[in-house]
A and B are shown apart, each in its own frame.
Chain A
């Protein structure tokens, strides 16, 4: 008889959770599975429900429907102090009346550890976060970066199963963010603790996350590894939210050889169907093409072509972005590798195109 398959316990599972405030739905039917030691980023614009989702995991909000499992254990009705989690808040929420050493030891104190053990462990943690010299200071005497370290040390000292981070570097100076991001990523790798990181900054989400969950209007729009979301946005929202996509709206035409013809105000284009079902002819749909996938002055072999007029050219160093206008005022972005000489002038008329396989068809929006 074959041995039963070893089921790896998930660190976190959200089953169709829903949270309403009066008539406002903050979280709508959100399901998520977090593998042990996974770095998950909840990404979305403000008010999309990502923070509420995180607070439901922490137990600071109770979902109206659905279940939350932490380490395979049902915790939906449990208060925060009974959950194997820790949380880091955007403004760090350091206790103003406690010294750094005292508040870093707070979690252990709550576990009723002996005093000597707490002191020893606090000293270790302060040393590993390189904040030993701050031990006797109060939060009012700390810089932003120091506060961030203290908040992290305070959250990590009990070695929770999951660390919840609500825009953890949003309050830091811009110059500090990259360093802190790298540190946090390596800390997460080292400890194997699952991180759930809420952010509205896609650079954070895509550079840190093993799994990126894009949310909008209380729902999950798409989840997957960063490459998947960047190369294959599944909804027009995701395509528009992540930088560098051109989103085209149109109507389905005939499908032939796995390529769907889409009628748009800018013309008809062939878009690969991939794993999507062939939509009924005439039904509304959308697709996107990455701005750097466009080709200047394409030859006859490129089937998808648009005549445009260049409005502005912006130079970002790594790339040069052209904003172009087509028929009916539709705007198209075209990014060119920054080291290449500028080839399109402002005001110039130009034809751009793209290879059929670079079009990404979106899931049909449920009408």
Chain B
């Protein structure tokens, strides 16, 4: 018998654990997805009563969905704004870290604090603070600030990883060829880090889009989609809610798929067509 770098048994064990974990991760979503196709008399738990598109039709024909439209729009706009802000701030913050300034270690941990602080406390604390300052909370002011503070650490870490793989010699080469710092950033750095920037934007978007705990106290009277969904759960639970969940999840997956295809096309372009 000849020697192998990894035994067959290890491969099987690790493979099983991985597949088990992925199933565990996707099972809840799959349950919801399945139940959203329940029949007209179907409930929100198994067993399913019949199979139909009834709840989706219901969604389409509004009544309940009309209640969801404004929060959905708000969530979408808020997520876009949060995503854009996160991109700008995390690129700047990660660029700053490249300079290794005095106190950069402290700066790093302070930025990551947003990851560790419990969301409900951040939201509540911020609400108290704004009240103290006499600022009225609303989804597009106070909630926006809190969302950015939540998404920023993720974006910052992503951009740090991106810059770690970025060769600063490329910028230096541009500078010695006569490019100013601004031009070197625009022509060299930016196109190369762009995939990471898009990743950061997606992070910013999805973290804001489904944020609940921090939004609860800071969004004011006009709530976002997660708040509306929670409120609806309190009132009445029908498979229609599952249909909403499935539709929004499907939209996210489509966006991610589009981005992945974009990355793949770009990577192919960078490698160039085989000569």
Interface residues of A (CB under 8 A from B): 58-60, 79-81, 83, 85-87, 89, 91, 93-97, 106-107, 110-111, 137-138, 140-141, 154-155, 158, 164
Q: Are B176 and A137 within 8 A (Cβ)?
A: no
In the bound complex, do residue B177 and residue A154 qualify as a contact, i.e. CB atoms below 8 Å apart? yes
B178 an interface residue at 8 Å Cβ cutoff? yes
Given contacts A81-B180, A97-B192, A158-B178, contact A89 B272 (CB under 8 A): no
Smallest CB gap from A154: residue in B: B177
Contacts of A94 in B (CB 8 A): 173
Beyond known contacts A58-B176, A95-B174, A97-B270: 13 more, CB 8 A cutoff:
A58-B172, A60-B176, A81-B177, A81-B180, A87-B173, A89-B173, A93-B172, A94-B173, A96-B270, A140-B271, A141-B271, A155-B176, A158-B177
Residues in A with CB closer than 8 Å to B172 are: 58, 60, 80, 87, 89, 93
Residues of A within 8 A of B178 (CB): 81, 107, 110-111, 158
* Residues of chain A lying within 8 A (CB to CB) of residue B183: 110
Task: Name the residue among A60, A80, A85, A106 with the largest chain B CB count within 10 angstroms.
Answer: A80
Residue pair A95, B272 in contact (C-beta under 8 Å): no
Residues of A within 8 A of B112 (CB): none
Question: Contacts A81-B180, A137-B272, A138-B270; is A97 near B191 (CB within 8 Å)?
Answer: yes
**CB under 8 Å from chain A, chain B span 156-183:** 167, 169-170, 172-181, 183
B188 at the binding interface (Cβ < 8 Å):
yes
In the assembled complex, B275 has its CB within 8 A of some CB on chain A: yes
Please measure, in the bound complex, the distance between the C-alpha atom of A204 and the C-alpha atom of B240, giving whole angstroms. Answer: 76
Give CA–CA (A158, B178) in the complex, Å: 10
CA distance A86 to B177 in the complex (A): 6
Cα A95 to Cα B175 with chains together (Å): 12
Closest CB of chain A to B64's CB: distance in Å?
Answer: 48
Interface centre among A58, A111, A141 (most CB of B within 10 A): A141
Interchain nearest-CB distance for B224 vs A (Å) = 38
Q: How far in angstroms is the closest Cβ of chain B from A10? A: 20
Whether B176 and A80, one on each chain, are in contact in the complex, defined by CB atoms closer than 8 angstroms, is yes
8 intermolecular pairs with C-beta atoms under 8 Å apart: A80-B172, A81-B178, A87-B173, A93-B173, A95-B173, A95-B174, A111-B178, A138-B272
Question: Which B residues have a C-beta under 8 Å from some C-beta of A?
Answer: 167, 169-170, 172-181, 183, 187-188, 191-192, 270-272, 275
How far does the Cβ of B263 sit from chain A's closest Cβ, in whole Å? 14
Nearest residue in A to B181 (C-beta to C-beta)? A79
Query: A138 to B271, Cβ gap below 8 A?
Result: yes
From A79, A89, A96, A141, contact of B275 by CB (8 A)? A141
Residues in B neighbouring A85, C-beta threshold 8 A: 176
A41 to B270, CA, bound (A): 35
Given A97-B192, A110-B183: A141 and B177 within 8 A (CB)? no
Interfacial chain A residues near B272, Cβ < 8 Å: 137-138, 140-141
Give the Cβ gap from B221 to chain A, nearest Cβ, in Å: 48
Query: Across the two chains, which residue of chain A brings its CB closest to B267?
Result: A140
Please indicate the chain B residues that have their CB under 8 angstroms from the CB of A89 in the complex. Answer: 169, 172-173
Check if A106 sits within 8 Å of B177, measured CB to CB: yes
State in angstroms the CA–CA spacing of A266 and B37 once bound together: 97
Given contacts A91-B169, A93-B170, contact A110 B270 (CB under 8 A): no
Query: Shortest 10 CB-CB distances between A and B: which pairs?
Result: A110-B178, A93-B173, A80-B175, A138-B272, A93-B169, A87-B176, A107-B177, A141-B272, A81-B178, A97-B191
CA distance A3 to B264 in the complex (A): 70
Q: Which of B178, B192, B270, B271 has the most CB of A within 10 A?
A: B178
- Please report the C-alpha to C-alpha distance between residue A80 and residue B177 in the assembled complex, in whole angstroms: 8
In the assembled complex, the Cα of A110 lies from the Cα of B188 at a distance in Å of 13
**Most chain B Cβ neighbours within 10 Å, of A59, A83, A93, A107:** A93
**What are the residues of chain A within 8 A of B174 when measuring CB–CB?**
95, 106
Q: Which residues of B contact A137 (CB under 8 A)?
A: 272, 275
Find the A residue at minimum CB distance from B190: A97
When C-beta atoms are compared, the residue in chain A nearest to B177 turns out to be A107
Cα A172 to Cα B272 with chains together (Å): 23
Min C-beta distance of A118 to chain B, whole Å: 13
Contact status B192-A96, CB under 8 Å: yes
The answer on a CB contact under 8 Å between B169 and A110 is: no
Contact B179 A140 (CB under 8 A): no
- CB pair B192 A110 closer than 8 Å: no
Contacts of B173 in A (CB 8 A): 87, 89, 93-95, 154
- Inter-chain CA distance A188–B180, complex, in Å, is 27
Residues of B within 8 A of A96 (CB): 170, 192, 270
Roughly how many angstroms separate A164 CA and B89 CA in the complex, as a whole number? 36
Nearest Cβ on chain A to B111's Cβ, whole angstroms = 25
A245 to B142, CA, bound (A): 75
Contact A86 B271 (CB under 8 A): no
**A235 → B minimal CB distance (Å):** 33
Q: Cβ of B177 and Cβ of A110 under 8 Å apart?
A: yes
Residues of B with C-beta under 8 A to A110: 177-179, 183
A58 to B175, CA, bound (A): 9
Query: Whole-angstrom distance from the CB of B205 to the nearest CB of chain A?
Result: 25
Contacts of B188 on A, CB cut-off 8 Å? 95
